[in-house]
Structure 1
Amino acid sequence: MPGYRCRSLFAVAACVTGLTACTSGGGGHGTSTTPAPPSGTSQTSATATPSGTIGTSPGGVTTRIDVPAESTEEQYAQACMATKKWMEAKGGDPTTLVEPFLKDLQSNAAPGPATFNSTWGQLSAAQQAAVIVAVKAAAEGGC
């Protein structure tokens, strides 16, 4: 997004997960810094962007998209908090709930704050990557 800078919690979560590289200064665009995935853990999809590899779990859930994540700080915060609320309601170790939550988002037609008030299918690959960043951050206590 032109004019968007990685900041605060979004920057930490995005950079830590390796989905984007944050630039300093105004107007920077993140670039993918994710190393090559281990064999057997991802597959390339025809719907992926030219350099975007989509990582899927054995259950078919998209758990990684190797494109720069794109969301506003408000979208990211809402997605993270919605995920955290869902995980708290389920109970248990939040890190084990990442895949089940992503599965719900990807199979549920209802838009909501975790998917920027759109359905999963309406999101661009960059927005889907941002949702995954927010979900993982919520599981790690990052929001």
Structure 2
Amino acid sequence: DRKCYTTYSQLPDEHQMIHDMCRKFANEELAPNAGEWDEKHVFPKDAVTKLAEIGMMGMNVSEEDGGAGLDALAYAIAMEEISRGCASVGVIMSAHNSLYCSPLSEFGTPELKEQFLAPYASPPDDDQSPLIGCFG
């Protein structure tokens, strides 16, 4: 059941919500700071923590394994909006989700998933930084 969406207004409600949430985050948290982060070579720890808190650092990981359980369309929409706000944060999000979480989610044993996936795909506990498995 493949569909082609020509505008964001045609997206299913869940995907529209992801789009709106990521667009707001990009506009309010990323875009105003992106130039300074790049110029000063700053790792945007607070922004990455906030992304993890809203479930964007384990998007395609099943809920059973600690992630958000979202599909590829949601991931593409989120990546587009986050990268629009700050390309560097988009790369961090992409590398973590694609290079670290996805292989473990797809091929990891239950033991590996419990030890090395769930803590990285889940939002951090209060007052903790998220665990990042890979960044660009």
TM-score tier (shorter): 0.3 to 0.5
Q: How high is the TM-score relative to the length of structure 2?
A: 0.33
By percentage of residues, which structure has more helix?
2
Greater length-normalized contact order (CA 8 Å, ≥ 6 residues apart): 2
Q: How high is the TM-score relative to the length of structure 1?
A: 0.32
By percentage of residues, which structure has more strand?
1
